[in-house]
Structure 1
Amino acid sequence: MKKTLVIGSTVLDIIIQIDHLPKTSEDIHIKDNRMALGGCAYNAADILRKFGVPYTLLSPIGTGRYAQIVEDMLQEKDMRSSVKIDSDDNGFCLCMVEKDGERTFVVHHGVEYSFKKEWITEDKKEEYDSVYISGFEIEETDGFEIIEFIEENPEYQVYFAPGPRLSKIGRDKLDRILARNPIIHLNEKEAMELSKTFNYEDAAKAINNLTNNTVIITLGSKGAYYYEEGQGYYVLGESATVVDTIGAGDSHIGTIMASLKMGLSMQQAVERANKISAAVVGVQGSSLPDEQFVALLKKLKEL
């Protein structure tokens, strides 16, 4: 089985639990706080790791206090980045989680959002058959390097998660990515923004017309909808007690990538992704503990 190349960020999430987002000049107290690894690429790669699917996490590690924390926490999970940079530190994300589980991010970007094509040498390219990219990295200056990389390697299946900052990416960049026929994964709001439509069914069809490939739209607790080969399919969601929604979308696309690698159909992959992401929103932070994931995977295999 060839590897999936996961390009993007690994950051330190500083998670605080609050009743509500503060207003200007308001003084509020936090209910709880913790640190955890986060970042779209890390979250997706961690799901691949848990499933035992081969991958490479191309998420630069810098030099500095945040970089050291990130590197140490990766090593605790037997994970590592393939790139080290001496010029700057990694960033962090302040994750403010309100009592209903909704999260708001304030992000400081570091070296984890950089990318150079030469980091993937010619002898390594044959190890991969698919690549994951996120809109957060495409938005950055080095986003053009990522786009050129996927254009120069048309044999790779591209998985693209645009994320919530579509308007910041730039239409020229988006058009070039969509022309690479990615499997695109986004939530309902993002899908309607990208397609300029008013419901997820129309959005999926419109985006499919741009990509000529599968479109997957997450619908929160309602489940997910995917469109491929001229037909749309609704997949029922899973009930969940929401602690926070950090990493839910990343775990969903990570599960889909892993499941397709394991030979499952898209229907089976989305069903499994709904179950995994429902479990993720039930814990604090972006990642299920390994032992909880193993127990859940055992249940999935019994279905």
Structure 2
Amino acid sequence: MKPALIIGSTCVDVIINIDHLPKTAENLRPTSQTMALGGCAFNVSYIMRLLGGHHTFISPVGGGTYGDYVAKQLKSKGIPVAIRVPEQENGCCYCLVEANGERTFLSYHGVEYTFQKDWMLPYHAENYSIAYVCGLEIEESTGINLIEYLEEHPQLEVCFAPGPRGVRIKDGKLERMMDLNPILHINEQEAYELSGKSNYREAAKALWQITKNTVIITLGEKGTYCLEKNKTSYLVPGTPAENVVDTIGAGDSHIGTILACLTKDIPLRKAIGYANQVASAVVSVKGSSLPEDLVPIQI
């Protein structure tokens, strides 16, 4: 299989650990605060690099304090900066992590969530087999540019992770994304919201009727349910995490593992099993980036 195109954001995650989410006017004292690279596309690309998955990472990096931090961190990791837009500010994401590991995101968007078609001129679509995109980029005003790019290159299969704001993608953009017949990668709650169903198997069927392509639904510790393009369906058991620190980046690392496997022609069912193992490892560490020595698989 040809390499993948990973298109989307690299931002700064400001991770704030708190006992619980504050109520209005409540004064809380965080237990810690750290900064790390984040962003859905970065998380996907990062795990693909660790696993040797062939891909090109297209992520605009802006200016300002956060843009400079992103550029410096990418350089230190040996990751090329494909697009630099220093005249526009980079945003950040405040990640509120409760004592139980659950997270809430407050995203301040900058240039990292935007897309311009001319950025892709050095990268010829015929050299790639699949393109990963996230709903946050589609929701932006420049999301229409990304949709048009994908429409103009129908030879690219699309892997779409609409995310928790997927149902809020307006102006017909969500419908146009679904018309691209994408592989869907979603969690259980997202599946219910997008389909209007209350059972993940029924949700997968309803979404398959729209996309006529594979639907992958992550179910936390229960595992992952998959309804393939050919209508084969199965539940791949989860890998229990010994200690859940936080769930930041778990879904991104899951699809990143699947894409890495697909670029190496590993069957989807086996790829999902690997992805479950990686996601379990990710929730056992702080933040979204799994240290290389803790990667539980080799492919």
TM-score range, shorter chain: over 0.9
CA 1:250–1:123: 2 relative to 1, 3 Å: closer
Select 1:280's aligned residue among 279, 282, 285.
282
Is residue 2:156 matched to residue 1:156? yes
Once the two structures are superposed, the pairs formed by residues 209-224 of structure 1 within 5 Å of their partners are 209-224=209-224
Residue of structure 2 equivalent to 1:262:
264
Residue of structure 2 equivalent to 1:92:
92
Work out the CA distance in 1 between the residues paired with 2:53 and 2:276: 19
Q: Spell out, residue by residue over 1:159-193, the C-alpha distance to the aligned partner (whole angstroms, 9 max, x if none).
A: 00000002320261111111111111000111111
* TM-fit CA distance, 1:122: 6.5
Work out the CA distance in 1 between the residues paired with 2:3 and 2:86: 27
Deviates more, 1:28-37 or 1:269-278: 28-37
Residue of structure 1 equivalent to 2:234:
233
Contact 2:6 2:45 in 1 (8 A): yes
Q: Which amino acid in structure 2 is aligned with residue 203 of structure 1?
A: A
CA 1:171–1:210: 2 relative to 1, 3 Å: farther
Q: Secondary structure of the equivalent of 1:78? A: coil
Residue of structure 1 equivalent to 2:248:
246
Q: Which amino acid in structure 2 is aligned with residue 18 of structure 1?
A: I
Q: Which amino acid in structure 2 is aligned with residue 234 of structure 1?
A: L
Q: Secondary structure of the equivalent of 1:119? A: helix
* TM-fit CA distance, 1:118: 1.2
* TM-fit CA distance, 1:3: 2.3
Give the TM-score taking structure 2 as reference length. 0.96
Instruction: Give the gaps of 5 or more residues in structure 2.
Output: none
Work out the CA distance in 2 between the residues paired with 1:125 and 1:269: 24
Q: Secondary structure of the equivalent of 2:236? A: strand
Once the two structures are superposed, the pairs formed by residues 284-303 of structure 1 within 5 Å of their partners are 284-293=286-295, 296-298=296-298
Is residue 2:52 matched to residue 1:52? yes
Residue of structure 1 equivalent to 2:134:
134
Instruction: Give the gaps of 5 or more residues in structure 1.
Output: none
Work out the CA distance in 1 between the residues paired with 2:81 and 2:221: 33
Q: Which amino acid in structure 2 is aligned with residue 210 of structure 1?
A: I
Aligned residues: 297
Deviates more, 1:116-125 or 1:13-22: 116-125
Q: Secondary structure of the equivalent of 2:290? A: coil
Is residue 2:169 matched to residue 1:169? yes
Work out the CA distance in 2 between the residues paired with 1:267 and 1:38: 27
Residue of structure 1 equivalent to 2:111:
111
Work out the CA distance in 2 between the residues paired with 1:185 and 1:14: 25
Deviates more, 1:28-37 or 1:133-142: 28-37
Contact 1:71 1:80 in 2 (8 A): no
Contact 1:133 1:158 in 2 (8 A): yes
Work out the CA distance in 2 between the residues paired with 1:197 and 1:22: 31
CA 1:271–1:171: 2 relative to 1, 3 Å: farther
- Provide the aligned C-alpha RMSD in A: 1.3
Deviates more, 1:170-179 or 1:213-222: 170-179
Work out the CA distance in 2 between the residues paired with 1:227 and 1:96: 33
> Post-superposition, which runs of at least 4 consecutive aligned residues in structure 1 deviate over 6 A?
none
Q: Which amino acid in structure 1 is aligned with residue 55 of structure 2?
A: Y
CA 1:171–1:185: 2 relative to 1, 3 Å: farther
Work out the CA distance in 2 between the residues paired with 1:142 and 1:6: 17
Residue of structure 2 equivalent to 1:81:
81
Q: Secondary structure of the equivalent of 2:185? A: strand
Deviates more, 1:45-54 or 1:116-125: 116-125
Q: Secondary structure of the equivalent of 2:83? A: coil
Contact 1:15 1:96 in 2 (8 A): yes
Work out the CA distance in 2 between the residues paired with 1:113 and 1:274: 27
Work out the CA distance in 2 between the residues paired with 1:80 and 1:89: 19
Q: Spell out, residue by residue over 1:242-290, the C-alpha distance to the aligned partner (whole angstroms, 9 max, x if none).
A: 1000000000110111111111111101101000000000000011011
